[in-house]
Structure 1
Amino acid sequence: MEVLVTVNKNSVISEVDKRIFGSFIEHMGRAIYSGIYEPEHPSANQEGFRGDVIELVKELQVPVVRYPGGNFVSAYNWEDGIGPKAQRPTRLDLAWHSSESNQIGIHEFANWAETVGSEMMLAVNLGSRGLSDARNFLEYVNHPQGSYWSDLRRKNGREQPWGVKTWCLGNEMDGPWQIGQKTADEYGRIAYETAKAMRAFDRNLELVVCGSSSPDMPTFPEWEKTVLEHTYDAVDYISLHMYFKNHESNTARFLAQSLRMERYIDTVASTINYVKAKKYSDKQIYISFDEWNVWYHSEEQDKKILSGQEGWPHAPAILEDIYNFEDALLVACLINSFIRKSDIVKIACLAQLVNVIAPIMTEEGGAAWRQTIFHPFKLASLHARGNALQLDIHSPCYAVEWASDVPYIDMSAVYNEEEKTLNLFIVNRHESEHISLRTEFQQFQNLHVSAHQTLSGHDLQSCNSSQFPDRIRPDKGEAPVIDNQQIEISVAPLSYHFIQLKE
């Protein structure tokens, strides 16, 4: 099987916003407690944060982290997480049927984010609370001094404001599982009024309004239309969320789900354009795809805790999917989709970062390790910074119910002008055949291959663990030779490749 790809340096889709390699930390499960925070752990720093986890997060170079939720935020009182820890209340978290000690709040999380080199993307509670509390939280976080909430922040140990730029106006407000679920009109009104108040504080904020929780919601895409009609003039992004499953153990269908996500993005982009035209607006709203990942492995084991059969545990081990090699291949395809859609998707948050459907896992008191999905995310986060290029791909295809033309080769390319590098990210979806991939380069000068890393040759169900943390990791691939401005490589079935070329 042969595939021909043409890469033209001048065929630019968009500059890739580094925030598409963002992530997410929610007060749920072990994401925080025994995830990023474990004071008794041998590696813990003076603030109680695990040093081994800090190093792994730094390795991923995550530019932005969404916090504190998620479903959790819709019944969260942010004031519970400030002041002396001994005086903070324990609350019952209705979203994940657990107890919340509030030992981590905005101060502690902000210190952790600064340590790992990430900006915060904060969410306000528009479920059980509303405009007034959002305004107070914003003042506490971003006002220098001389007001009640800013002076309270200073009293609590932080003199300078954090200056958080990006704020989410609630979370998944279309979902019947959400505390304070609203209709599109109800949510659109409160989101607009909240955005208006927040902009009265700082007109340069970036505000994210809730889109549909998934493309399978019965209100999609009417929800987007209605919410944007209310909020278009006051916000900058609309959020999308999507999780991916493989209960049928159908690899071809599973790996094609990135095209289903692209159709979701295209539909929302069209809805944005419709509302923009209806309002005769020059303003462009972009997409914040601020929850995405594979999520299905842990569903059965989570049922007892999430149904309340086990009471109200603190930091229960829920949503702890252990990812296999097949999941890593899909994550690589999904990242390729974000790169190809970088003209409209400007923020994306892998949900989540530690323990809870995450690339990093920990044992309480023990080791931290990289899951299989860590590796394609890291390679893209480090190297997909620059201009996404439109590729001309001629590949054999197969069909699934949502797409009749799923290419066996899934590929994206990013050119970094400053570093003079062209970075290729390649997945072979074929389950049995090697593919002869010929790539031609146009408008480049004196390219040579400087790196080739591959994930290949593993059983689809193989996983990493604390005992075998490197069972799945990138291997050095054989560097293809450029001949007459083209390279040809044999891409093994069900494999992932990162190839870097330099001018």
Structure 2
Amino acid sequence: MKNMNLKDKMVSVKTAGLCALLLAGQPAWSGTGKDEVIRHNSVSVMPGAPKVKYSKMIFGQFIEHFDNQVYGGLYDPESKFADEDGFRKDVIEALREIKTPIVRWPGGCFVSTYHWLDGVGKERTPVYDKTWQVEDPNTFGTDEYIKWCRKVGCEPYICTNAGTGTPEEMSDWVEYCNLTIGKYGRMRAANGHPEPYNVKYWSVGNENWGAHELGARTVQEWGPMVRESAKLMRSVTKDAKLFAAAKSDKKWTLPLLREAGPYLDYIAIHGYWDPLFHVNNPAPYLKCMMKTDAPEQDIQRTIGILDEAGFGGGKIKIAYDEWNLRNWHHPWHGDLRRGFDLEARRKNDMASTYTMADALFSACFLNACLRHSDVVDIACFAPVVNTRGPIFVHPDGIVRRTTFYVFKMYTNGLEDYMLPVALEAGRLTQGSQSTAVFDVVLTGNADGTRYVYAVVNKDPEKSHALTLDFKSLGVKEPRKLKGTVLSGTSADDYNDIGKERVVPEERSFEVRDAAVVLPPHSLTLLRLEK
């Protein structure tokens, strides 16, 4: 992707319908980058609002048998970095670095023609993958996936085949993983794994609402299919956490909930906001920032559907088990007459695609999940390795892309509880579109002695001052705050082999009149202590 000339973009900042002007008589603020500092932004703690312990599962990941995600990605026995099981040790170490809590597998669209029995046992027969039109060797199957999850330290989350598969096949897979008796429990033991895997998270299907999906279902077919699948799966593991492929659309999800809601724990929603199916032309930074409010709107629509169906208030929770700013590039997907340009899939790995736009959109997505942490319980970034993942794998190591460091900052830097806040902020505009220049969440520890603000400044060029609420937290206004910043030198910076331009930096922020100045195109974690 060519670097954008952001100076040529029409950017303005407004607050409450007024132009944001530097206040006369205010101290001269020293910003960062393109040094003009804009004020009139504040965040306040909402009085009386309870703090909520959020689920760390929102920092989950996803892997699919697509291109070089599994083979040549996390699994590569020929690599100099491979362990005794063929897994890339550098990938495992990186995933532990970001405290990956859960990984969904094996798809994705791949799963709709995947039959799990092909991938267990000593004899593995390669099969033709009808979704991605390549041969899958079946070397990496259920047993390898579980072993890999154990090494990463994450929960396995298995998505089942509701395309060409059957409810019985799904429940047999649960039996293989979780029982010590029966045909499939004994089969697992015979395959060298006597102890049950106790897989807790299971999904019925993947995007079965879409015409692109092999084995797509109609609205009328889907609810009964999910209901009967869930009944069989629960007959094997009563306390399994069950998901079903859904979307933030009443026409699909309301009938699903009416038919199968009593059997479900989650509805599985997917979100990609820069569609690049056929043409790999990633949206530029400012256009991406105009999309940062979309995940919150999507969540609110989905909550409305759950409420209308009678499953609101957390009775059924939301799992974004695939999400990313940018969709994967897979030319001609959905038009099987034309076939796939396999080589073009590698455009997904172009390092210059993954700039601060991807990092800041990802932070805004996670912030939206945190703000709705009573309902949004799980999220899986899609995918975790190669394609559009936070980790790029190459023969001599890995690249930690900009999005990797968002996960590292959040999983290692936030406190455990969400405190609701109200934000008053200027607007960043592009044409007729606009978005708040800041996106802010506040987390705290259990006893209220530590707090961390996560603040996104979306402006590509200007620093902005943000007034913090120290009083409501019972914290004396400090002279300085310590913080961790991810920004790079421009909004278009990216990481590549041998070139890490975007990495978190520890900084000290001067506090004046309860305000701090945040650099342009940045994610900042600000730490407060009593």
TM-score by length of 2: 0.85
In structure 1, the residue matched to 2:266 is 237
SS of residue matched to 2:508: coil
SS of residue matched to 1:460: coil
In structure 2, the residue matched to 1:476 is 506
In structure 2, the residue matched to 1:378 is 408
Change (3 A) 1:159 1:403: farther
Q: State yes or no: 1:495 paired with 2:519.
A: no
Match of 2:166 among 111, 130, 133: 130
SS of residue matched to 2:310: helix
Q: State yes or no: 1:17 paired with 2:55.
A: yes
In structure 2, the residue matched to 1:140 is 176
Letter in 2 for 1:98: V
Structure 2 CA distance for aligned equivalents of residues 425 and 358 of structure 1: 22
In structure 1, the residue matched to 2:292 is 258
Equivalence map 1:350-499=2 (5 Å):
350-363=381-394, 365-398=395-428, 406-417=435-446, 420-441=449-470, 442-445=472-475, 451-468=482-499, 470-481=500-511, 487-499=514-526
Structure 2 CA distance for aligned equivalents of residues 140 and 447 of structure 1: 57
Q: State yes or no: 1:194 paired with 2:194.
A: no
Letter in 1 for 2:107: G
Structure 2 CA distance for aligned equivalents of residues 292 and 413 of structure 1: 23
Structure 2 CA distance for aligned equivalents of residues 200 and 70 of structure 1: 25
Structure 2 CA distance for aligned equivalents of residues 477 and 20 of structure 1: 27
In structure 1, the residue matched to 2:44 is 6
CA offset digits 1:247-298 (Å, max 9, x no partner)? 5845333113231111111111101100107xxx997111001111122585
SS of residue matched to 1:209: strand
SS of residue matched to 1:227: helix
Change (3 A) 1:141 1:296: closer
Letter in 1 for 2:81: S
Structure 1 CA distance for aligned equivalents of residues 431 and 230 of structure 2: 39
Match of 2:84 among 31, 46, 49: 46
Structure 1 CA distance for aligned equivalents of residues 254 and 334 of structure 2: 34
Letter in 2 for 1:274: E
Instruction: Report how far residue 418 of structure 1 moved.
Output: 6.2
Judge which range, 345-354 or 244-253, deviates more: 244-253
Structure 1 CA distance for aligned equivalents of residues 288 and 99 of structure 2: 28
Instruction: Report how far residue 471 of structure 1 moved.
Output: 1.3
In structure 1, the residue matched to 2:317 is 286
Judge which range, 284-293 or 412-421, deviates more: 412-421
Instruction: Report how far residue 436 of structure 1 moved.
Output: 1.2
SS of residue matched to 1:182: coil
Tell me if structure 2 keeps the 8 A contact 1:237–1:288: yes
Instruction: Report how far residue 475 of structure 1 moved.
Output: 1.5
SS of residue matched to 2:272: strand
Tell me if structure 1 keeps the 8 A contact 2:178–2:237: no
Equivalence map 1:15-94=2 (5 Å):
15-84=53-122, 87-94=123-130
Tell me if structure 2 keeps the 8 A contact 1:13–1:343: no
Q: Give aligned pairs, total.
A: 483
Structure 1 CA distance for aligned equivalents of residues 433 and 216 of structure 2: 33
Equivalence map 1:308-347=2 (5 Å):
308=339, 317=346, 319-320=348-349, 322=351, 323-347=354-378
Task: Calculate the aligned-residue CA RMSD, in Å.
Answer: 2.8
Instruction: Report how far residue 197 of structure 1 moved.
Output: 1.4
Structure 2 CA distance for aligned equivalents of residues 4 and 282 of structure 1: 30
Letter in 2 for 1:131: P
Letter in 1 for 2:349: E
SS of residue matched to 1:477: strand
CA offset digits 1:13-71 (Å, max 9, x no partner)? 53210100011011111111111111121121100111111111111101010011111
TM-score by length of 1: 0.89
Letter in 1 for 2:185: S
Change (3 A) 1:309 1:410: closer
Instruction: Report how far residue 461 of structure 1 moved.
Output: 2.4
Structure 2, unmatched stretches of 5+, are 1-37, 276-280
Tell me if structure 2 keeps the 8 A contact 1:372–1:473: yes
Instruction: Report how far residue 108 of structure 1 moved.
Output: 0.8
Instruction: Report how far residue 424 of structure 1 moved.
Output: 1.1
Instruction: Report how far residue 136 of structure 1 moved.
Output: 0.5
Change (3 A) 1:282 1:346: closer
Structure 1 CA distance for aligned equivalents of residues 334 and 172 of structure 2: 36
In structure 1, the residue matched to 2:184 is 149
Instruction: Report how far residue 11 of structure 1 moved.
Output: 2.9
Tell me if structure 2 keeps the 8 A contact 1:462–1:472: yes
Structure 2 CA distance for aligned equivalents of residues 71 and 306 of structure 1: 18
Q: Percent identity?
A: 28
Tell me if structure 2 keeps the 8 A contact 1:65–1:119: yes
